[in-house]
Structure 1
Amino acid sequence: MADGEYSFSLTTFSPTGKLVQIEYALNRVSSSSPALGIRAKNGVIIATEKKSPNELIEENSIFKIQQISEHIGIVYAGMPGDFRVLLKRARKEAIRYSLQYGSEILVKELVKIIASIVQEFTQTGKDYQNNMSFLEKRYNKDIEIEDAIHTAILTLKESYEGVLNEKNIEIGVAYDNKPFKILTQNEIKDYLIEIE
């Protein structure tokens, strides 16, 4: 029997001992563009490359960073369809929590809910090792948001094939006690100019 006959479940092994669904997920993530997050002294930033999977999709219609609630954002690497399902669930949970408790959901609480849906070991992607070592060299616990943005851009530049510009990168910023914000192309362009 072919592996395809065993790809309907995360917990069904093929005769060769493989979890085929997990292999599919790992292959997709390893071929996708990197997504990263940096915790700064005064907030958090998330960043990713934004490239079209094929010529028939316009780049300005791709959004890899989305807002979940007023203070929480999310970034993905992998399949857009999977991301949309998780984004919808995260938004529902944030609304449910807000209605039930009268305050915004804590990031830690939301992560627990979403992590129960996602397999943790599918979270490493293309150039993971290189990007991690690059980040480890430049990160310190006292980093400020502005420096974290520069570090994220430099990290994405390390693995990007081509010229990184404001059209093929997305950055989201969550300052302490301020709403989550996705940077505009003009704001990203200013940061790109600063690091050159």
Structure 2
Amino acid sequence: MYSSDIDETNRYCYNLCTFNPFGEVKQVDYANTCAMKGEPAVGIVTLDGVVLGTQKRLKLKYAIGESVEKVKEIGPTMGITFSGLFPDFRIITKLYRKTIAEFSLVHDHPLPVHCLMRSVSTSMQELTQSTGVRPFGLSLLLAGFSDNRGQLYFMDAAGSNSAYKACAIGRHMHERTIFLEKKYRKRMDAEDGVSLAVQALMLRSPRGLSADQMEVAVVEDYGMYRIDEETIAKYM
């Protein structure tokens, strides 16, 4: 490619809502790259509900792991985790909770998980067509329990979404995805799911990873509960 061609392409790199000559919206690609470089997270559907797990990087030796929550409860039977920018995750969490609250004011039944997923993914997609803003620099895993079963959804920075039985996001996501495809079983209970989530997070992880640098939770029909460090350490 000649330098003139490169200059022509770069003209589109900072214009969010414009395709470049190769059919790319580069800011969306950059946002997805940011998510893929983030700390890994996994979601696994079990017979009892959905397991969400993630790593959390503690940059300082005496940082307190409990002060960082990367798995959030956003509704009575819903949870969410991410890979990418933590500040963007805080905004997304507020958006989820606002959507749930608005629905509960009008209806006398909980918001279905797939409806919440579509609402928020639409908001994420709108940022890819607006000037003066940027896409969220993260990927999301939304877990919920409705229709008497666990449900898991993946969303990327562009607002694309898919339902999964098991999914990995973040750094080395392809290796973790292959691992989950080999190890996942349809008749797994919550304990099996927690074990598999920890094993997947350990894959390609840095040396010295400890239990307080992992966060694992289970979303079931009566709510979300967190797995303690002793249990996590047992599966490491």
TM (normalized to structure 2)? Answer: 0.71
Which runs of no fewer than 5 residues in structure 1 stay unpaired?
none
Map 1:39-188; keep pairs closer than 5 Å: 39-52=45-58, 54-55=59-60, 58-60=63-65, 61-118=67-124, 119-120=158-159, 124-175=169-220, 177-183=221-227, 187-188=228-229
Which runs of no fewer than 5 residues in structure 2 stay unpaired?
1-6, 125-157, 162-167
Q: Distance in 1 between matches of 2:23 and 2:191?
A: 47
Deviation of residue 179 (structure 1)? 1.2
Deviation of residue 139 (structure 1)? 0.7
Aligned residue identity for 2:31 = A
Q: State how many pairs are aligned.
A: 189
What's the secondary structure of 2:198's corresponding residue? helix
Deviation of residue 35 (structure 1)? 1.1
| 8 Å contact kept, 1:171–1:188 | no
Q: Distance in 1 between matches of 2:63 and 2:22?
A: 40
Bigger drift between 96-105 and 150-159 goes to 96-105
Equivalent residue for 1:191?
Answer: 232
| Residues 58-86 of structure 1 deviation map (CA, whole Å, 9 limit, x = unaligned) | 45332211110121110010111221221
State the Cα RMSD in Å: 2.6
Aligned residue identity for 1:105 = L
The alpha-carbon distance between structure 1 residues 157 and 139, as it changes in their structure 2 partners (threshold 3 A), is: same
The structure whose residues are more often strand, as a share, is 2
Q: Distance in 2 between matches of 1:150 and 1:163?
A: 19
